[in-house]
């Protein structure tokens, strides 16, 4: 009886931390091929979620023009990739279903995305938006400190100032260093955590720790992947964000396969 009481009153053990695997550059090429294959298998889903992301960028750019601060379009375009992983949740679900051989049903996939507001992914969205806000705030701070005597009311004038004046070069150097640090930090805590939270019942702190462990255990390939994704998104954003309609789904599907390769099954 005493043994039964001790068993009944025992505190349940927390779930074990996900096991992180070693990956190499060949794995990056493989996951990119799988991302392309998933996009080819379900192009309408990819174009839909990529279109939503591109539309968000266009709306933000138009809003900055309406608010008479068009010069902010450049830093927004640089920081916009920071929130890409959260938009790609629907793409992760599509890849998960393709990998499991399950049917792709619009109502079910959108339902899974909508359900995430009640799960730990909501906290990750808060983290990502907070980092994006910090990025935008530090841009305005650097403008006030470094470019305080410069005048620019248009995007063309802003580009002229930052690329042709000593103050602009200092602004670019410091801004990109700060941005790189923020991007690396956000990449480290989200690259694995978001697909993991979609795939498993885990708390967001465990997911972030697992993501950081994946990056620190595989620094060269993971940083290379982060740089590749960032450059691909920035280049795709140049023609009014329209390139993201294709780039985001391919990269999103590939990131799901990267997660599956980097973290052992539960």
Q: How many domains does the chain have?
A: 1
Distance CA(187)–CA(109), nearest Å, equals: 25
Q: What is the pLDDT tens value at each position of the chain, 266 positions in all?
A: 444 444 445 455 556 788 999 999 999 999 999 999 999 999 999 999 988 888 877 877 777 666 666 666 666 666 666 666 777 889 999 999 999 999 999 999 988 888 877 778 778 877 877 887 787 788 778 888 888 766 666 667 777 787 888 888 888 888 888 888 888 888 899 899 989 988 888 888 999 999 999 999 999 999 999 999 888 888 887 777 788 899 989 999 999 999 999 999 87
Flag whether 14 is in a domain: no
Distance CA(229)–CA(81), nearest Å, equals: 9
Flag whether 229 is in a domain: yes
Start-end of H helices in the chain: 2-8, 25-41, 43-66, 73-79, 84-87, 89-100, 106-115, 121-146, 155-164, 166-190, 193-199, 204-217, 219-237, 244-262
Flag whether 201 is in a domain: yes
pTM: 0.79
Distance CA(195)–CA(121), nearest Å, equals: 9
Distances (CA, A) of 215 to 121, 142, 218: 20, 30, 5
Distance CA(177)–CA(194), nearest Å, equals: 25
Flag whether 33 is in a domain: yes
Place of tokens 């004046």: 165
Distance CA(28)–CA(39), nearest Å, equals: 17
Flag whether 6 is in a domain: no
Side-chain half-sphere exposure of 50, counting CA atoms within 13 A: 23
What are 263's strand-pairing partners?
20
Flag whether 15 is in a domain: no
Distances (CA, A) of 214 to 125, 191, 258: 20, 9, 11
Flag whether 9 is in a domain: no
Distance CA(190)–CA(169), nearest Å, equals: 31
Flag whether 13 is in a domain: no
Distance CA(144)–CA(133), nearest Å, equals: 17
Domain range spanning residue 69?
23-262
Tokens linked to 98: 């393709």
């Amino acid at each position: 009886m005493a043994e039964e009481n001790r068993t009944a009153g025992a505190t349940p053990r927390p779930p074990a931390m996900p096991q992180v695997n070693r990956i190499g550059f060949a794995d990056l090429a493989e996951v990119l091929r799988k991302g392309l294959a998933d996009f080819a298998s379900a192009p309408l889903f990819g174009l839909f979620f990529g279109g939503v992301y591109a539309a968000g960028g266009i709306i933000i750019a138009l809003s900055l023009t309406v608010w008479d601060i068009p010069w902010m379009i450049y830093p927004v375009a640089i920081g916009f990739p920071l929130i890409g992983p959260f938009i790609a949740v629907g793409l992760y679900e599509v890849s998960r279903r393709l990998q499991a051989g399950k049917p792709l049903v619009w109502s079910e996939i959108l339902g899974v995305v909508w359900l995430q507001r009640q799960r730990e992914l909501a906290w990750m969205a808060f983290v990502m938006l907070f980092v994006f806000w910090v990025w935008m705030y530090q841009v305005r701070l650097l403008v006030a400190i470094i470019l305080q005597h410069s005048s620019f009311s248009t995007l063309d004038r802003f580009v002229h100032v930052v690329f042709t004046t000593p103050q602009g070069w200092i602004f670019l150097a410091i801004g990109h260093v700060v941005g790189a640090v923020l991007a690396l930090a956000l990449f480290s805590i989200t690259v694995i955590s978001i697909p993991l939270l979609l795939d498993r019942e885990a708390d967001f702190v465990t997911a972030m720790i697992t993501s950081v462990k994946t990056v620190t255990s595989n620094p060269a390939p993971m940083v290379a992947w982060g740089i590749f994704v960032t450059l691909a998104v920035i280049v795709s954003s140049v023609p009014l964000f329209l390139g993201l309609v294709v780039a985001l789904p391919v990269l999103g599907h590939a990131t799901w396969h990267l997660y599956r390769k980097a973290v052992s099954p539960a």
